[in-house]
Chain A
Amino acid sequence: MGFFIETLIGGLMAGMLYSLVALGFVLIFKSSGVFNFAQGAMVLFAALAMARFSEWANAALGGNSLFLANLIAFVGAGATMWLVAWAVERFVLRKLVNQEGATLLMVTLGITYILEGVGQTIFGSEIYNIDVGMPKEPVMMFESLFEGGILINKEDFIAALIAALLVGLLTLFFQKTPVGRALRAVADDHQAALSIGIPLNRIWVIVWLVAGVVALVAGIIWGSKLGVQFSLATVALRALPVVILGGLTSVPGAIVGGLIIGVGEKLSEVYLGPMVGGGIEIWFAYVLALVVLLFRPQGLFGEKIINRV
């Protein structure tokens, strides 16, 4: 029983991390209808920027204050993501208004290549560390309840807390601020939003910036866990089933979907994996999402797709 709960909690924590990447997808799809494959590359790009800025700031400060160096790096990486958002809007999206979904999807794949190339040219292609002072050692809990207790990774726990906080902030931003309301208006109807004076171009920059910041947070957490390296770009492929399971247009869907996929992956790997030779967690998530789609084609929380002739 203790082992089961441990796996379950491990799955929930991993799920929160998937949700973070999935959030970026949802934000951009909701407001511009672009299925942004570059989200994984953005995570890599942001994490690379963060790691190197932190290294440089630390060297410039003489290694006195890790916190200050990280703060400078965070602001610097945020500014870099703003630059990315601006460039994407100015040079790509603005010229592709009203194109089909498949074309936009392919464009973001092109952006993926550019970001991977540029990121590694500027920031280097070694493996870097991000040290934001997260505690690494695991703790035992509930030793009185279960035999052997439950091993919880403190780092995962903090990461899950940060993810939850970020989701809360985003919800507030979307529901309560004027900019958030404008974003929701654009998501509902481009033309109606334009007609009441919402500047579409600026809104898109903001959305890509928000997605960039989400990617930055995801990059910091994943990067401090696994190290910043090229394989970070492939987390996008792990987060895709999360997005379609939860629904492409739903922020809560990204969270719930992430938790379901995280738990499903871990439990299937532990209990089903040995029967069929292991390594099934990669496709299990996709098959799980596929099964859900068969019953709800728009995902768990997505808006109902209405077809008009």
Chain B
Amino acid sequence: MLYRENGQFKTTYAADQQIFTIAQDKWFVLGIVAFAFLAVPMLADEYMFRAILIPFLILSLAALGVNLLVGYCGQITLGAGAFMAVGAYAAYNFLIRIDGMPLIGALLLGGLTSAGMGILFGIPSLRVRGLYLAVATLAAQFFCDWAFLRIKWFTNDSSSGSVSVSDLSVFGWVIDSPAEKYLFCLGFIVVFAVIAKNMTRATIGRQWMAIRDMDVAAEVIGIRPMYAKLSAFAVSSFFVGVAGALWGFVHLGSWEPAAFSVDRSFQLLFMVIIGGLGSILGSFVGAAFIVILPIFLNQFLPALGGLLGLHISTAAVSHAELIIFGSLIVFFLIVEPHGLARLWAIAKEKLRLWPFPH
């Protein structure tokens, strides 16, 4: 009853092509955004910001980028961590080597550099498909791990490849408290989510989806595979690169190449697959799931053990975490191979009738 589009007539083409054609959707999303901007900074404490909210926002931005490539264009990538690293180190170099470089400029230039790398490592996708491509993208991962550890120029001659950034400020606004960092990231993610949503509705997104569904057929109807695939790699790497720069600058502050290891790539791929391939919402849900679950298990298991009168050692907790994490991934893939976003779509279908039976 509550979620019905009855009576919402569209009288112009513009109204018909809105992002949210149903008023309830629009107000719901706007409400969440307003809540995130206004209420959360007042409600959350410092631990919430540092451990959950900021990582969640940045990783959802990265997951969004991965989803554009994997979910919308169908090119599996295991090298997303490398593009985060490229974004982070490139932004760092732009910031320290060019005098007076503004923070946002450095972040965006880091993203652009990452996009360039994405195009370079996307070239094999023109020849190689599917799982072969997935493994081939690992080349980017291991090459970047090595390059940032061994080539000293990238890290401003620091010995272990670790670099640090301090004094973040935008137009005189000094970003130092966790709440300010949170708002800064939130601003980025909202803008990028709108861009991503609009891209998937525009020509370029439709080309990606055509390539994903059947590349030979797409070619027959006049879509250039090279342009479509490489643009997907470039846009995806740009998103992931900006996320990497934010991860280094805002979340970590100082970091080394190990922060963007192959585990991070797997983690990002988990997010989009558990959240839902080819869904903007799915990127956020998946990121929330993967970020919050380990923290929850870490807090919950010792408490549970205490309740039962058992003392669980830290090693046992970390092993149990692995087992539960793995089992949940397997479980979710079995019950809903199309991801958590699909559950939300099903829920909306049900909501149209609820609470009436027919």
Binding site for B on A (CB under 8 A): 35, 91-92, 95-96, 99-103, 105-107, 109-118, 120-121, 125, 237, 240-241, 243-244, 248, 276-280, 282-283, 286-287, 289-290, 293-294, 297-299, 305, 307, 309
Contacts and interface: CB of A to CB of B under 8 A. Distances in A.
B64 interface: no
A91 B329 CA distance: 13
B153 to A, nearest CB: 11
B3 interface: no
B124 A283 contact: no
A243 B134 CA distance: 12
A290 B142 CA distance: 13
B319 A120 contact: yes
A294 B124 contact: yes
Contacts of A244: 132, 135-136
Given A106-B270, A282-B146, A294-B127, A240 B333 contact: no
Interface in B52-102: 70, 76
B330 A111 contact: yes
Contacts of B37: none
A116 B329 contact: no
Interface of B: 70, 76, 124, 127-132, 134-136, 138-139, 142-143, 145-146, 149-151, 214-217, 220, 262, 266, 269-270, 273-274, 277, 315-316, 319-323, 325-330, 333-334, 337
Contacts of B143: 283, 286-287
Given A283-B139, A294-B127, A110 B337 contact: no
Nearest to A95: B334
A117 B273 contact: no
B134 A105 contact: yes
Nearest to A293: B128
B136 A283 contact: no
A152 B78 CA distance: 37
B129 A116 contact: no
A92 B334 contact: yes
Contacts of A243: 135
Q: Nearest 9 pairs between A and B by C-beta?
A: A113-B326, A117-B322, A110-B329, A117-B323, A286-B139, A114-B326, A283-B142, A110-B330, A277-B150
Given A121-B320, A294-B127, A99 B337 contact: yes
Contact of A117 (B146, B266, B319, B330): B319
Q: By DSSP majority rule, is chain A's interface helix, strand, loop, or mixed?
A: helix
B76 to A, nearest CB: 6
Contacts of B132: 244, 248, 293, 297-299
A293 B127 contact: yes
Contacts of A299: 132
Nearest to B338: A103
A280 B146 contact: yes
Contacts of B139: 283, 286-287, 289-290
A106 B146 contact: no
B332 to A, nearest CB: 9
Contacts of B134: 35, 105
Nearest to B316: A121
Contacts of B319: 116-118, 120-121, 125
Contacts of A91: 330
Nearest to B143: A283
A96 B337 contact: yes
Contact of A106 (B136, B215, B269, B325): B269
Nearest to A35: B131
A101 B131 contact: yes
A111 B135 CA distance: 19
A117 B327 CA distance: 11
Nearest to A92: B330
Contact of B136 (A99, A110, A290): A290
A36 to B, nearest CB: 11
22 contacts: A35-B134, A102-B70, A102-B76, A103-B333, A106-B333, A107-B330, A107-B333, A117-B319, A117-B320, A117-B322, A237-B262, A241-B135, A241-B138, A243-B135, A282-B145, A286-B136, A286-B138, A293-B127, A297-B128, A297-B132, A307-B216, A309-B220
B129 A279 contact: no
A297 B333 contact: no
Nearest to A37: B266
A299 B135 CA distance: 12
Contact of A110 (B129, B320, B327): B327
B322 A113 contact: yes
A102 B273 contact: yes
B334 A309 contact: no
Contact of B150 (A278, A293, A305): A278
A309 B221 CA distance: 12
B262 A114 contact: no
Contacts of B322: 113-114, 116-117, 120
Contacts of B214: 309
A277 B315 contact: no
Given A106-B329, A116-B322, A117-B326, A96 B220 contact: no
A151 B223 CA distance: 58
Given A103-B337, A112-B326, A120-B319, A297 B217 contact: no
B165 to A, nearest CB: 25
A118 B330 CA distance: 15
Given A109-B329, A279-B149, 16 more contacts: A92-B330, A95-B334, A102-B273, A105-B76, A106-B274, A106-B329, A110-B327, A114-B322, A114-B326, A116-B326, A117-B326, A241-B138, A243-B135, A279-B150, A286-B142, A293-B132
Nearest to A294: B127
Given A96-B337, A106-B273, A118 B323 contact: yes
A14 to B, nearest CB: 17
Contact of B270 (A109, A116, A279): A109
A290 B215 CA distance: 21
